[in-house]
């Protein structure tokens, strides 16, 4: 297996076969294990799909949990934004590029965030309670929760600290790494701005507190908020269903009230979000749908079923503390 950055032009039948194989975790385990665990040739690592981003005729990207590691597999059939890392390797029989997720070139802060020694030093400098000597940061361990290749990654950070009296305590923070410094900076300042609105001060909306911004890592750090994940309470509440967990209904109503409070708070930003790019993408997808053939529709149906199974079986944010 060798590092390459180009792939042969694929036909519609090729892409159909490639995506089908990519969703077969048993086959993918056999492809991926030798690439990422070369010292264990007789062992096939457990493999499961964490997510799937698929643009017909353009690309398909799947993050896999491969044993203890998260790896990315991607097909690129058209013009796709962003570069692959230099470490990307081609699985030749499949035409898939693969790499470790922490090597995502669009998220340069990932490698540091996931390195216990380097992220401890970075947080000890960024957080005033450690920088001023009030508390000592002893260790930090990061765990990815949600990841969108080339865009962002939300992580949970478990900290061990010691106060001036020598007492040990544990602390949890959340951080989101971004692919653009401007985006990370805007998020940090806008969260600060929102926290000072009447909607938040009155308790109508509760936001995870922003505690630090690490520009070198394009990483925004936030504290935890107590509660339950609303997503987990919404199963079975689709369509006209009136049964289900009453906490789900109550959560939707409360969330709607909080969202309305934020949008009527008067907070404003000068950050522009042009709609041109989104409109072009919608037009492109509509054109693809208009030319869909039965075999392509079958593939889409299979892909949707697989995604539904992934979504239901993968709980990415465990516990009762929600991430920002």
Beta strand spans in the chain (E): 47-49, 53-55, 59-66, 69-76, 89-91, 96-100, 135-148, 152-163, 168-178, 210-214, 219-222, 225-226, 321-322
- In angstroms, rounded to a whole number, what is the distance separating the alpha carbons of residues 48 and 311? 12
- pLDDT at 310 (0 to 100): 46
When mean pLDDT is compared across 116-120, 257-261, 282-286, the lowest value belongs to: 282-286
Angle CA(55)–CA(56)–CA(57) in degrees, nearest 5? 110
* pLDDT at position 309 over 80: no
Which range has the top average pLDDT, 16-25, 264-273, 303-312?
Answer: 16-25
8 A C-beta contact, residue 70 and residue 144: yes
Give the model's confidence band at 292: pLDDT under 50 very low, under 70 low, under 90 confident, else very high: low
CA distance 176 to 187: 10
Give residue 322's pLDDT: 37
What is the mean pLDDT of the segment spanning 194-207? 90
What confidence score (pLDDT) does residue 10 get?
55
Question: Distance (Å, rounded) from C-alpha 265 to C-alpha 198?
Answer: 7
Whether residue 6 is predicted with pLDDT greater than 50 in this model: the reply is no
- Taking residue 153's Cβ as centre, other Cβ atoms within 10 Å add up to 27
pLDDT recorded at residue 324: 41
Query: Could you tell me what percent of the chain has a pLDDT over 90?
Result: 46
Q: Is 289 helix (H, G, I), strand (E, B) or coil?
A: helix
* Inter-residue contact 311 to 50 (CB < 8 Å): no
- The pLDDT of residue 149 is 85
pLDDT of residue 296: 52
Residue 204: CB partners within 8 Å, gap ≥ 6?
A: 257, 258, 261
pLDDT tens by residue, 219-271: 999 999 888 888 777 766 666 655 667 788 888 888 999 999 988 888 887 77
**Distance between CA 171 and CA 13 in Å, rounded?**
51
The pLDDT value recorded for residue 278 is 76
pLDDT band at 318 (very low <50, low <70, confident <90, very high): very low
Quick one: pLDDT at residue 260?
Answer: 92
Residue 266: CA count within 13 A, CB half-sphere: 5
Residue ranges of the domains in the chain? 12-103, 110-226
Tens of pLDDT along 139-174? 999 999 988 888 899 999 999 999 999 999 999 999
pLDDT digits (tens, 9 = 90+) for 45-95: 999 999 898 888 888 999 999 999 999 999 998 877 778 888 899 999 899
How large is the average pLDDT for residues 8-16? 69
Query: Quick check: 212 and 113 in contact, CB under 8 A?
Result: no
What confidence tens digit (pLDDT) does each residue in 99-110 have? Answer: 999 999 889 899
Res 265: pLDDT: 87
pLDDT at residue 256, as a whole number = 92
For residue 9, give the 3-state DSSP assignment: coil
CA 143 to each of CA 101, 215, 266, 310: distance values in angstroms, whole numbers, following the listed order: 12, 20, 36, 20
Average pLDDT over residues 298-311: 49
Residues 115, 111: Cα–Cα separation, whole Å? 6
**Confidence (pLDDT) at 7:** 47
Query: Which of 188-202, 217-231, 295-309 comes out lowest in average pLDDT?
Result: 295-309
Considering only CA atoms, which of 72, 20, 70 is closest in space to residue 45? Answer: 70
**Containing H/E element for 119?**
helix 116-126
Q: How far apart are CA 19 and CA 21, in angstroms?
A: 5
- Alpha carbons 119 and 99: distance in angstroms, whole number: 22
Which residues, listed in sequence order, are joined to residue 175 by a DSSP beta bridge? Answer: 155, 221
CA distance 2 to 104: 18
The two structure tokens encoding residue 217: 């890592």
């Amino acid at each position: 297996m060798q590092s390459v950055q180009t792939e042969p032009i694929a036909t519609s039948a090729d892409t159909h076969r490639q995506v089908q194989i990519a969703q077969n975790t048993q086959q993918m385990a056999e492809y991926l294990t030798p690439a990422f665990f070369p010292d264990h040739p007789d062992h096939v690592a457990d493999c499961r799909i964490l997510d799937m981003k698929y643009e017909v005729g353009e690309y398909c990207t799947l993050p896999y949990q491969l044993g203890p590691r998260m790896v990315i597999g991607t097909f690129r059939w058209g013009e796709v934004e962003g570069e692959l890392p230099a470490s990307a390797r081609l699985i030749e029989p499949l035409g898939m590029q693969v790499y470790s997720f922490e090597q995502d070139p669009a998220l340069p802060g990932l490698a540091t965030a996931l390195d216990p020694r380097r992220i401890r030093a970075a947080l000890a400098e960024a957080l005033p309670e450690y920088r001023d000597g009030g508390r000592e940061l002893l260790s930090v361990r990061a765990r990815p929760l949600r990841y969108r290749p080339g865009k962002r990654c939300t992580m949970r950070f478990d900290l061990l600290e010691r106060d001036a009296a020598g007492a040990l305590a544990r602390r949890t923070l959340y951080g989101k790494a971004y692919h653009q410094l401007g985006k990370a900076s805007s998020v940090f300042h806008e969260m600060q701005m929102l926290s000072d609105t009447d909607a938040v001060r009155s308790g109508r909306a509760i936001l995870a507190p922003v505690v630090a911004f690490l520009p070198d890592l394009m990483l925004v750090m936030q504290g935890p908020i107590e509660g339950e994940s609303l997503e987990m309470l919404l199963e079975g509440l689709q369509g006209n269903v009136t049964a289900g967990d009453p906490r789900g209904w109550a959560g939707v109503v409360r969330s709607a009230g909080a969202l309305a409070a934020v949008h009527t708070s008067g907070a404003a930003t000068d950050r522009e979000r042009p709609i041109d790019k989104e409109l072009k993408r919608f037009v492109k997808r509509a054109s693809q749908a208009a030319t869909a053939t039965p075999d392509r529709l079958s593939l889409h149906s299979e892909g949707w079923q697989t995604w539904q199974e992934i979504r239901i079986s993968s709980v990415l944010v465990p516990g009762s503390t929600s991430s920002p």
